[in-house]
Structure 1
Amino acid sequence: MNYKSLFLLAVLFFLNGGFGSAQNWTAQRITDVENQNLANTWIDFVKEFEVEELPIEAVASIACDSKYWMWINGKLVVFEGQLKRGPNPKDTYYDQVELAPFLQKGKNKIAILVWYFGKEGFSHKSSGQAGLVFQCKALDIISDQSWKSRLDRGFENTAAPHPNYRLPESNVRFNAQLGNFNWVNPNEELVGFNPAKVVGSAESAPWNQLVKRPVPQWKDYGLKRYPEISSLPFESKGDTLVCLLPYNAQVTPYFKISAEAGKLIDIRTDHYRGGGPENVRAEYITTNGVQEYESLGWMNGHEVRYYFPEGITVLDVKFRETGFQSGFTGSFSCSDPFFNRLWEKAVRTLYVTMRDTYMDCPDRERAQWWGDVVNESGEAFYALSPEAASLTRKGMLELVWWQKENGVLFSPVPAGNWDRELPGQMLASIGYFGFWNYYQNTGDQETIEQVYDGVKRYLDIWEIADNGILKVREGDWYWGDWGTNVDRQTLFNTWYYLALKGFRNMSELLGKFEEVTQTEQKMQQFKTAFNRVIWNGQEYRFPGYEEETDDRAQALAVVAGLVDPDKFARIYELLQSQKYASPYMEKYVIEALFQMGYAEYGLERLKERFSLMVNDPKSSTLYEGWGTGVDGFGGGSANHAWSGGGLTIMAQYVCGVFPVEPAWKTIQIKPQLGNLQFAQTANETIAGEVKVRVAQINGEFRLEAGIPGGSTGIICIPDSCQSVALNNKTIWKRKPRANSYAHFVKRENGYLYFEVQNGAWHFVGK
């Protein structure tokens, strides 16, 4: 089965649930009889049952607030199940898990540990009620009073400092004198358990409707030893053991020790203060003897730091990496090692900012800011396998389903303590680089249908002034970008035009031709007014803006399509001197340079701007700002999703790979090597693998392309070539020659366009 079939099946899987109930729930919501709704509460649930005949399939539907771990007959089945709430402000996600491989004839035991956050943040909406819903039709098991439960007294709260207010997670502290994990094992006596307390039906308030999880369970890489830890065992002298990770990752730390009771072990990473304020850490209080423990709340960083008190014998230390279930199928390399490192760090930055949602950073806030998501989702189509698109789709639906009654969109969502609109980011999200780019790469029309009305409602908020551009509107947070010299109103106007462009395409896709006509007219009028009001003859500058010329505003006007070629030379001149964009907006600056034909300077500026972070030997990820800490923005985290836009530039512009027809049905390859000798990229798209290698050496231009089955390729060769050969047969010599393999399409803007079908092709231009 190809990737397109797999993706469409995943879409249908989600659509069967929609944003509502996907099945007939008979299960009840259960919790413990004691006070279970305090923040950072952990509850143990157990169900023992008999199986006479082993089923071929036994799919369980499971929901909780907020996370769970599940064992069957002592074997770990789910490591950190459940998505953070919620798909909308009221409802709750649920998982589906196949249990059949873990069952045995006779007596069976399901053990589920639930972690109730009990507080809100920028990525989670608390229901206010801890609990569990479980339903498996094949086993005739539902959550009810027949389950056993107890508060897990091994889990405690740490002393201050606690994680900052953006995070719903608490620090995780486990007291091995008060608890253990033996209860998950078969035949273990259930001490302290009582019949579970029923608090309502599965879909009663405050959990409301249960929505099928739209993304896969996490990829579990298993427990691994740290690469450079070899001197084990050893007796601690009260020092901190620093364990290097192979790269910045989402990890849960593990240790095995021999100790006396009552000693406090502290675990944190080098990113504990990543982005400024405190993030998550862990503690463990020892019992007597040999013991092992894995702290279940994930943290991230390049180092895990264990403080072992004096006298503890450290027998082993390991880590478990978990992350989004997608493959690293994309690749890139070129003749300049700098850009190879940029790609590698961008991929790592992307992956460490993917989990329940796309996030800006995995330490300070773990929040789905949509300016970041636009960049992330674009990168994923070139770097990761098609499964990554499900996280983009989830984010799109959440954004629209959290829309306010007055039509305002805001992010991050899901959120419990945030509801402020950033106008520029919202326009970016629904526009050409956001929602429409998702469709262009996936061909998922169903999702466009689901978000369309929400997009229209948001666009209707924006009004046109008498001068033909937007009426000044600041939103809740008047923000255009980090840094200085931000011409916000010019940026808002360009983002608005890109939103119209995306909406026009969506309208055409859905057959809403009256909207298409109206939007095209609006765009034409708006472009004229934009250049009349904001272009002052030398630059784009909003009336009343008095700071330095904003490079972002010039660049975004170019990529939006608001700038005619007669202004390119002047904007190129400005982009050589004005350098105020953050790493987030720098992607659009470089993109504008490539679109205007200044590839060589585009690469030069990309290298100049990102050199500090790309050349940093201590970091495998890209920064939030141009430096870290006080030299960065907003606290200066060392791993920020929005900084990876160079990855998209490498694949989409340097190698020139772009789907010009949705779902990669038609693939354009229009490389711009600048001063590189060669560049190559490949990835598994929804249509199959696309491969490109381009070289310019000794006056020859060579392009090798692999076009997947069912797709068509549009190959663009510089028209400076006097002759072009395809698979050693001349197809162009000052004019096209008849050829049964390649069809000459056109000569335009410095390129010769040839159409080929699927297969492997080798072009040589001289």
Structure 2
Amino acid sequence: MEDMRDWQAKWIWRQELPHARDHELVYFRRSFMVNGEGCKLTVHVSADSRYRLYLNGEPVSVGPCKGDAYTHYYETVDLSGKLLPGRNVLAAKALHYGGTSPWRMAEHGPVSVWRSEAGGFLLEGAVTAAGGELIERLDTDSSWRCLKDEGYGYVPVPMIQWAGGLESVDGEKQPQGWETSAYDDSHWPAAVPFYDVRNDWGELSAWPLEPRPIPPLYERTNGFQGITYLEGAAEAALSSMLGPASESATPQGLELPPNSRMVVELDAGQLTTGYIRLEMTGGQGAVLRLLCSECYEPENSTRGKRIKGIRNQTEGGKLMGEYDTYRVAGTGSGAEDRKPEAYEPFWFRTFRFIRLEIETGLQELSLTSIRYRETGYPLEVESEFDCSDPQFRAMWTMGIRTLQLCMHETYEDCPYYEQLQYTKDTRLMMRYQYGISADDRMARRALHDFHSSQLPSGMLQCRTPSMYTHIIPAFSFDWIYMLQEHLAYFGDLQLVRRYRPTVIALLDWFERKRTAEGLVGGMPPRYWTHFDWVNEWPGGAPPLPKDQPMTLHSLMYAAALNAAADLMQHSGWGELAAEYRDKATDVNEAVIRACWSEERQLFEDAPNSGSFSQHPQVWAVLSGLIEGDEARRLLRRALRVESLPVISLPMTYQLLRALDMTGLYDEIGTAYWERWRKFIGLELTTFPEEDIVGPRSDCHGWSALPLSEFSARILGVSPGAPGFERIVVRPVLGKLTWAKGKVATVKGPVSVEWRLEDGEFAIRVEGPNVPIELALPDGTTRAFLGKGQYSCGISKTSDHLHS
């Protein structure tokens, strides 16, 4: 990925090194002339830590895409179609999050944004004539002007370490209209070039630049859908600002008299991520406070103990969260030749509901607009799904919304809190995405991110990008599954070969941890021994000594060895594949010897511990330790013993794979959708983090399970060979009487429609011109190219097990 661009621009800031360790927002401007038609301008731009770029007042780019210490991304933007005859102005605001090491929680800003000790802004580009002749270079140097925002303040509360930073902004100290071409910047000082992009001796800079690996995030203007609470203002005036955004709409504005107070709570209609924008005129000295919240909660809900019920139940409910604060400058005007004053938090916010409090001072304030620009990864949903159960259709829609809100510049565990790309969450989200889209650009970047996080020991970090190193050993296996599933869905052997050394080093770390008994031993105390969120497991692991072997570590290692063997076999390293399979067998045999309870007919959570849970039983199947009838008996036993700790929402994916392997999916697996049905009745628009352990995040990517299962199991479409060179269609009926839809694949869409009526099953399949293997419910198979239509008689009975 080494970038070949020979940069001419220099990093600039408002001062020489060293820079302030506090958070700083700095504005930059550069004027230039355009004479003649057909002039062109393409710029390459980056910053430490974040920027937003404008051309003549119009926002044109935001970034840089999140990177790490070894990869600092830049964006390339073609501005040719936006140039105006005469004077043009490039303007940017760059926010540097202060402090890096040692890390101080609640002070140093979002964990997911890597940065150095110094803030910086970088832009390279040149205006050229239609024929290619150079008109003017615009590279960042001392010809740019800059100004520190003295009104910007960062709020040191725990929330800022996750969600992009809360603000306290004094508009009276800000340069209003600074991004427009009409603004007079003659009093601004010259920017200071303080760092070269490169030197000629191979000494890399603090910002190893690489081009952005994913497309720009979309931004789409939306309006709020309703008022849920109002105090101190007329509803009619506010209502005129609600609803879909329209350029032709002219809100009447809300007039707030001097020394008054207004509180309003607004509903966006569904959970979303976006930049909230408030526009106003007059009102100097007024104070606006903005709170973003996922839902209403009962009055007895607290930060330490969250209680969530029906999410839009306002009666007896309250919104919880932290506040952004803005002090109004009073410079906005409703005149045609002037713009209203605007406040927009620098980072996007996550919300379904917002609470806006306004206290005016000595002047009247007119609130003229409350809108937001929804933002996210431009994921194109190519798959379709419908069936006889309307709640399944609702779950499909909720799953898509969940995944969309957890995809920005990386996959994110949740958009409201951490906004971090964790290995376990990312593996699941990648797999869910494959159920609805053939776009793998984000998946490829995630694979590279975790590869880049590998420590010298071989261990992978459990989240990246991240400002500090965080290790959950069990999560590292998920990276191997990411690579295996990417091969299955996209068939890219070159990518597998690229990352084989990373797989080898990771597995070697666990091999070195094996005990004389053959098990994976205890984990270093500085690492987090975590497997799943379970009520009976404080911290996510059985309450047993962490320096002793845990059965799950051994079973997960054996399963990962088998997955790695599959990767090595496909990529031409057959001997290593055989070695990995032999090691997996050795580890499994050690688990049988040390962890099997003859009395309970279950695997213990650790040798001689007397502690049991569903988890090792499932992983005993996934690792290949238990197979056939014995595996079916084990799973039935584990899922019927009520005293066993229950698998969570995210690990249900692994449970369903175990049921797949044993032929129990239709009998048992379909009953697990009862856990997801409950979310519909709670008026959620996305799937939450958990359902048993306790509510926190209302949107968690690892819970979007319907996307993979409805496409690959109900419609039945999955790869029969890497990259869908062969397609398998094996529908699971469950309690449905019909289903239809379209599943995106790298070869093209596969359409499936099936119906069960009076004991007769009929199915129609149409796909790309590759071999298709159809497995019918009566146990017979059909093989064809492209499309086929078949039927069979079945007598369908099932003994559903509800968890």
1:238-277 superposed matches below 5 A: 238-271=261-294, 276=303
Q: Does 1:69 pair with 2:52? A: yes
1:490 paired to 2:551: yes
1:286 aligned to 2:343?
no
TM-superposed CA distance for 1:688, in Å, is 1.6
The answer as to whether partners of 2:555 and 2:623 remain within 8 angstroms in 1 is: yes
Aligned partner of 1:234: which letter?
L
Residue 386 of structure 1 aligns to a residue whose secondary structure is coil
Partner of 1:653: 713
- Structure-to-structure mapping, 1:617-656, within 5 angstroms: 617=683, 619-626=684-691, 632=694, 636-656=696-716
Q: Distance in 1 between matches of 2:742 and 2:483?
A: 24
For the residue of structure 1 that corresponds to 2:183, the secondary structure is coil
TM-score, normalized by length of structure 2?
A: 0.81
Corresponding residue of 1:144: 141
Contact 1:423 1:474 in 2 (8 A): no
Name the CA distance, whole Å, in 2 between partners of 1:688 and 1:227.
41
Return the letter of the residue paired with 1:453. Answer: P
Residue of structure 2 in register with 1:234 after alignment? 254
Per-residue CA deviation, residues 450-470 of structure 1 (Å, 9 max, x unaligned), is 322111111001124444443
Q: 2:716 aligned with 1:616, yes or no?
A: no
Match of 2:529, SS state, is: coil
Q: Does 1:438 align with 2:433?
A: no
The answer as to whether partners of 1:66 and 1:85 remain within 8 angstroms in 2 is no
Q: Which of 337, 358, 368 is equivalent to 1:308?
A: 358
Q: What is the aligned counterpart of 1:756 among 773, 784, 791?
A: 784
The AA in structure 2 aligned to 1:50 is: M
Residues 37 and 696 of structure 1, relative CA distance in 2, 3 Å threshold: farther
2:411 is matched by which residue type in structure 1?
Y
Deviates more, 1:184-193 or 1:346-355: 184-193
Aligned partners of 1:481 and 1:641: how far apart in 2? 15
How far residue 625 of structure 1 moved from its aligned partner, in angstroms, is: 1.8
Asked whether the equivalents of residues 170 and 280 of structure 1 are also in contact (C-alpha less than 8 Å), the reply is no
1:455 paired with 2:451, answer: no
C-alpha spacing 1:157/1:415, structure 2 compared with 1 (3 Å): closer
Q: Supply the AA of the counterpart residue of 2:581.
A: E
- Deviation (angstroms), 1:601: 4.5
Q: Structure 2 CA distance, aligned partners of 1:164 and 1:272? A: 19
Match of 2:159 in 1: 163
> CA-to-partner distance for each residue in 1:15-36, whole Å, 9 max, x for gaps?
xxx0x33311111111113896
In structure 2, relative to structure 1, the CA distance for the partners of 1:125 and 1:59 (3 Å cut) is same
Match of 1:736 in 2: none
1:82 alignment counterpart: 64
Q: 1:196 aligns with which of 191, 194, 215?
A: 191
Which amino acid in the other structure matches residue 714 of structure 1? E
- 1:375 Cα offset (Å): 0.9
Tell me the equivalent position of 2:3.
Answer: 21
Deviations 1:208-249 (A, max 9, x none): 310211111101113545466625533456232112113211
Report deviation, 1:276: 4.8
- Report the equivalent of 1:510: 571
SS in structure 2 opposite 1:574?
helix
- Counterpart among 89, 93, 103 of residue 109 in structure 1: 89
Instruction: Classify 1:38/1:529 alpha carbon distance in 2 versus 1 (closer, same or farther; 3 Å).
Output: closer
From the superposition, tell whether residues 575 and 43 of structure 1 become closer, same or farther in structure 2 (CA, over 3 Å): same
The total of aligned residue pairs comes to 699
Between the aligned partners of 2:140 and 2:76, the Cα distance in structure 1 is 15
Q: Is the CA contact (8 Å cut-off) linking 2:218 and 2:376 kept in structure 1?
A: yes
Q: Is the 8 A contact 1:75 1:102 kept in 2?
A: no
Given that 2:552 and 2:605 are in contact with CA atoms closer than 8 Å, whether structure 1 keeps it comes out as: no
1:42 aligns with 2:92: no
Kept after mapping to 2: 8 A contact 1:653/1:671: yes
Identify the match of residue 776 of structure 2 among 710, 714, 717: 717
- Residues 591 and 649 in structure 1, CA contact (< 8 A), matched pair in contact too: no
- 1:8 matched residue in structure 2: none
- Offset at 1:303? 0.9
Find the aligned partners of 2:159 and 2:267 in 1 and give their Cα distance: 23
1:211-226 equivalences under 5 Å are: 211-226=210-225
Further displaced range: 49-58 or 343-352: 49-58
Residue by residue over 1:282-341, the C-alpha shift from the partner in whole angstroms, topping out at 9 and shown as x without a partner, is 222112254342333211021122112256433221111010111122332222233222
Cross-structure match for 1:707: 767
- Is 1:33 the counterpart of 2:52? The answer is no
- Name 1:746's counterpart in structure 2: none
SS of structure 1 residue aligned to 2:261? coil
CA distance in 1, matches of 2:791, 2:651: 36
Deviation of 1:543 after TM superposition, in Å, equals 4.4
SS of equivalent to 2:690: coil
TM-score (norm 1): 0.85
Decide whether the 8 Å contact of 1:54 with 1:104 is kept in 2. no
Q: In structure 2, do the counterparts of structure 1 residues 703 and 493 end up closer, same or farther at CA, with 3 Å as the change threshold?
A: farther
Confirm or deny that 1:94 pairs with 2:142.
Answer: no
- Give the partner amino acid of 1:24: D
Other structure's SS at 1:591 match: helix
Provide the C-alpha distance between the structure 2 equivalents of 1:399 and 1:163, rounded to a whole number of angstroms.
25
Task: Measure, in 1, the Cα distance between the counterparts of 2:211 and 2:322.
Answer: 29
**Structure 1 contact 360–641 (Cα < 8 Å) conserved:** yes
Aligned partner of 2:640 in structure 1 is 576
Alpha-carbon shift at residue 199 of structure 1 (Å): 0.8
Q: Tell me if the contact between 1:60 and 1:99 (Cα under 8 Å) persists in the aligned partners.
A: yes
| Residue 100 to residue 566, structure 1, CA distance change in 2 (3 Å) | same
Equivalent residue, structure 2, for 1:731: none
Q: Which residue of the partner structure matches residue 5 of structure 1?
A: none
Query: CA deviation digits over 1:245-266, x for unaligned, max 9?
Result: 1321111112223442111101
The gaps in structure 2 that reach 5 residues or longer are: 99-107, 129-136, 228-237, 242-252, 305-319, 334-339, 543-548, 794-803
Q: Which residue of 1 aligns with 2:375?
A: 322
Q: 2:444 aligns with which of 393, 411, 417?
A: 393
Structure 1 letter corresponding to 2:565: R
**% identical equivalent positions:** 20
Task: Give the Å deviation of 1:120.
Answer: 5.3
Aligned to 1:727: none
Whole-angstrom CA distance in 2 between matches of 1:533 and 1:334: 47
The one-letter code sitting in structure 1 at the alignment partner of 2:441 is S
Q: Deviations over 1:82-133 (max 9, x none)?
A: 12332xx344111111121112344322111112222354312221111111
2:435 counterpart SS class? helix
Q: CA RMSD in A?
A: 2.8
- How big is the shift at 1:401? 1.1
Q: Which sits farther off after the overlay, 216-225 or 45-54?
A: 45-54
Contact 1:120 1:415 (8 Å CA) reproduced: no
Structure 2 counterpart SS, 1:404: coil
Note the C-alpha offset of 1:565: 0.9
> Which secondary structure does the structure 1 equivalent of 2:728 belong to?
strand
Taking the aligned partners of 2:366 and 2:139, their CA distance within structure 1 comes to: 45
Q: Distance in 1 between matches of 2:40 and 2:572?
A: 41
Q: Give 1:165 shift.
A: 3.3
- Letter of the 1:626 counterpart: D
- Conserved? CA contact 2:19–2:117, under 8 Å: no
Which residues in structure 2 correspond to 1:529-568 (within 5 Å)?
529-537=590-598, 538-544=601-607, 546=609, 549-567=612-630, 568=632
Please state if 1:665 is matched with 2:702.
Answer: no
1:589 aligns with 655
